[in-house]
Amino acid sequence: AAGVIQSPRHLIKEKRETATLKCYPIPRHDTVYWYQQGPGQDPQFLISFYEKMQSDKGSIPDRFSAQQFSDYHSELNMSSLELGDSALYFCASSWTSGGGRDEQFFGPGTRLTVL
């Protein structure tokens, strides 16, 4: 079965650089979520999109932005990177229109290291 695809899997950036993380949801899934997991931490919700519109916003810094495109893939754009942005970034997708029982399927994550 198809799973959530995230690219790249690993990314190394310098401070103050920008980064773009991509997420390709499971086919037919209409909702995408982004989570950030710092070292030794639990995943923290950043932002979500339903049918290409932002549906919820969590602890996402103003330096970050995201969008969902017409093909339902999503991109997380991160600017002015800081050392503290080093983390594992997860994307998850679900089929919200399927009736509310939206189980989130997680991708393998993108490990971002900021030097």
Q: Output 8 or 80, the one with its CB closest to other proteins.
A: 8
Rounded distance, CA 87 to CA 106, Å? 16
Q: Output 84 or 100, the one with its CB closest to other proteins.
A: 100
* Residue 59 touches other proteins, criterion: CB under 8 A: no
Look up residue 85 and give its DSSP letter. G
Piece of the chain touching other proteins by CB under 8 A; list 11-19, 61-69, 77-85, 86-94 = 86-94
Among 33, 36, 78, 114, binds other proteins (CB under 8 A): 33
* Residue 52 touches other proteins, criterion: CB under 8 A: no
Q: Closest approach of Cβ 100 to other proteins, in Å?
A: 4
* Residue 45 touches other proteins, criterion: CB under 8 A: yes
Rounded distance, CA 94 to CA 102, Å? 6
From residue 89 to residue 108, the character string flagging contacts with other proteins as x (rule: CB under 8 A) and all else as - is -x-x-x-x---xxxxxxxxx
DSSP string for residues in 6-52 = EE-SEEEE-TT--EEEEEEPPTT--EEEEEEE-TT---EEEEEEETT
Q: Closest approach of Cβ 42 to other proteins, in Å?
A: 4
Radius of gyration (C-alpha) of the chain in whole angstroms: 13
